[in-house]
């Protein structure tokens, strides 16, 4: 391979990118749009759960319990009611996700030391959100119950705290429990995978459709030189996208970067090489821009979103699907980014994932060079 030929192909491809606003839009504007769109819209946090209350007791004890719910950041008290029909209507209209029903004998049972029961009615249409909301409700009720027991103990003259279990949880890596800190690194991986493959999936196919491939074939240019030359401009765009993504995460979404910035960029460059090479390979095989773009979307977007662990935990998937995820390259890059962003881990922990990325990039790039032939079929 000669560097001069590679430079000439890269220069030609740079001219094409800068003269085509659609290529620049696809390469820079769309990744930023997706970052902001998913960064703001996609969240797994369940806050301000709409709550409706039927307080049949109407006592100081019941109002104290209700204040625990309304004072929590996890619940938003919408209104009170006095019948089940309003509760059903509110849940049907999604005005409320959870309803709290406090019976008439609630305060009496509290005073006499009996078990006091309250009813929580939830909308189970969204099972995940309902489960989280129920967990919040149980936590508030448990905290209230614990305080009532302590008050009754002191009332009877027992002030010793012996035998009590004092739990003091300490959260590592994402102490604020903000889902965006967990989602954003994976979002970078998914966007880079999709955009990189889409960018290069049109390059060789465009040469065939416009008729310029015959001119390239007639030159002394070799296949590897053509492929590397075409990769360089889009590799540069990918690096720019990565820099912008890191800056957006730092200054817009305040996602903390705990680990090494150099390791982040190093692993990203390896992944970017593989993703771009995959697009080139698709373009070489299809020789048609429409088919190449469709195949690139199917082979990158769907696996990256569904099987990489970006949103859906891999451990919860069926055994067969979990096996399939081992060949999804985005899975390993998502793990690497989250490890660097959240846990400040290095190559001693991420060696397996880093090795897979390196092997994938080398194999796909070699396949693209081998598949390209300087002849008209």
Question: Which DSSP symbol is given to 114?
Answer: P
Q: Identify whether the C-beta of residue 54 lies closer than 8 Å to the C-beta of residue 88.
A: no
Whether the per-residue pLDDT at 212 is higher than 80: the answer is: no
Q: Identify whether the C-beta of residue 217 lies closer than 8 Å to the C-beta of residue 372.
A: no
Report which of residues 360 and 208 the model is more confident about.
360
Q: Identify whether the C-beta of residue 99 lies closer than 8 Å to the C-beta of residue 77.
A: no
| pLDDT at residue 56, as a whole number | 94
Mean pLDDT of 292-305: 86
Mean pLDDT of 7-30: 80
Place of tokens 């979990």: 322
Whether the per-residue pLDDT at 293 is higher than 80: the answer is: yes
Name the nearest CA neighbour of 106 among 53, 157, 156: 53
Round to whole Å and give the CA distance between 270 and 275.
9
119-122/98-102 β-pairing: antiparallel
What is the DSSP secondary-structure string of 61-100? Answer: HHHHHHHHHHTSTTEEEEEE-SSHHHHHHHHHTTS-SEEE
| pLDDT at residue 137, as a whole number | 92
| pLDDT at residue 9, as a whole number | 83
Mean pLDDT of 239-260: 92
Report which of residues 149 and 261 the model is more confident about.
261
| pLDDT at residue 14, as a whole number | 85
Q: Identify whether the C-beta of residue 345 lies closer than 8 Å to the C-beta of residue 260.
A: no
Q: Identify whether the C-beta of residue 9 lies closer than 8 Å to the C-beta of residue 230.
A: yes
Structure confidence at residue 363 as a pLDDT band (50, 70, 90): very high
Whether the per-residue pLDDT at 20 is higher than 60: the answer is: yes
Q: How many CB atoms neighbour CB 139 within 10 A? A: 13
SS3 307: coil
Mean pLDDT, all residues of the chain: 86
| pLDDT at residue 165, as a whole number | 60
Round to whole Å and give the CA distance between 163 and 145.
17
Round to whole Å and give the CA distance between 268 and 239.
8
Q: What are phi and psi of 8, to 5 degrees?
A: -65, -45
Mean pLDDT of 55-79: 92
| pLDDT at residue 5, as a whole number | 83
pTM confidence score: 0.82
Whether the per-residue pLDDT at 162 is higher than 80: the answer is: no
| pLDDT at residue 17, as a whole number | 79
Whether the per-residue pLDDT at 161 is higher than 80: the answer is: no
Q: What percent of the chain has pLDDT over 90?
A: 40
Round to whole Å and give the CA distance between 343 and 356.
20
Residue pLDDT, tens place only, 92-145: 998 999 999 999 999 888 888 788 889 999 998 888 888 889 999 998 998 888
Round to whole Å and give the CA distance between 183 and 35.
11
Round to whole Å and give the CA distance between 238 and 196.
7
Q: Identify whether the C-beta of residue 246 lies closer than 8 Å to the C-beta of residue 332.
A: no
What domains are there in the chain, each with its CATH number? Answer: 3-43+178-371 (no CATH), 49-155 (3.40.1710.10)
């Amino acid at each position: 391979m000669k560097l001069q030929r590679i430079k000439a192909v890269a220069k030609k491809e740079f001219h094409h990118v800068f003269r085509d606003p659609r290529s620049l839009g696809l390469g820079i504007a769309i990744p930023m749009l997706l970052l902001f769109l998913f960064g703001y819209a996609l969240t797994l946090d369940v806050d301000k759960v709409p709550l409706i209350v039927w307080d049949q007791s109407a006592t100081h004890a019941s109002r104290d319990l209700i204040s625990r719910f309304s004072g929590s950041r996890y619940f938003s008290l919408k209104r009170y009611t006095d019948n089940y029909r309003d509760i059903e209507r509110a849940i049907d209209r999604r005005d409320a996700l959870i309803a709290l029903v406090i019976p008439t004998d609630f305060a009496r049972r509290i005073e006499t030391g009996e078990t006091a029961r309250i009813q929580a009615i939830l909308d189970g249409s969204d099972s995940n959100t309902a489960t989280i909301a129920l967990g919040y409700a149980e936590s508030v009720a448990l905290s209230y119950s614990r305080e009532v027991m302590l008050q009754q103990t002191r009332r009877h003259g027992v002030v010793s705290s012996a035998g009590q279990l004092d739990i003091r949880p300490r959260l590592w890596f994402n102490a604020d429990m903000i889902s965006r800190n967990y989602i954003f690194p994976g979002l970078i991986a998914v966007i880079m995978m999709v955009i990189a493959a889409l960018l290069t999936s049109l390059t060789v196919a465009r040469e065939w459709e416009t008729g310029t491939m015959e001119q390239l074939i007639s030159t002394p240019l070799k296949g590897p030189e053509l492929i590397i030359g075409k990769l360089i401009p889009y590799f540069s765009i990918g690096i720019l996208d990565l820099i912008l993504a890191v800056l957006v995460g730092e200054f817009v979404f305040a996602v903390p970067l705990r680990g090494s910035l150099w390791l982040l960029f190093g692993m990203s460059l390896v992944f970017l090489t593989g993703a771009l090479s995959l697009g080139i390979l698709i373009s070489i095989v299809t020789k048609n821009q429409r088919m190449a773009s469709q195949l690139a979307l199917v082979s990158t977007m769907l696996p990256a979103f569904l099987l990489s662990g970006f949103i859906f935990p891999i451990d919860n998937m069926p055994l067969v699907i979990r096996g399939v995820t081992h060949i999804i390259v985005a899975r390993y890059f998502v793990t690497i980014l989250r490890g660097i962003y959240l846990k400040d881990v290095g190559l001693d922990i991420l060696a397996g994932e880093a090795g897979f990325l390196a092997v994938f990039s080398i194999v796909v790039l070699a396949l693209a060079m081998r598949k390209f032939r300087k002849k008209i079929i």
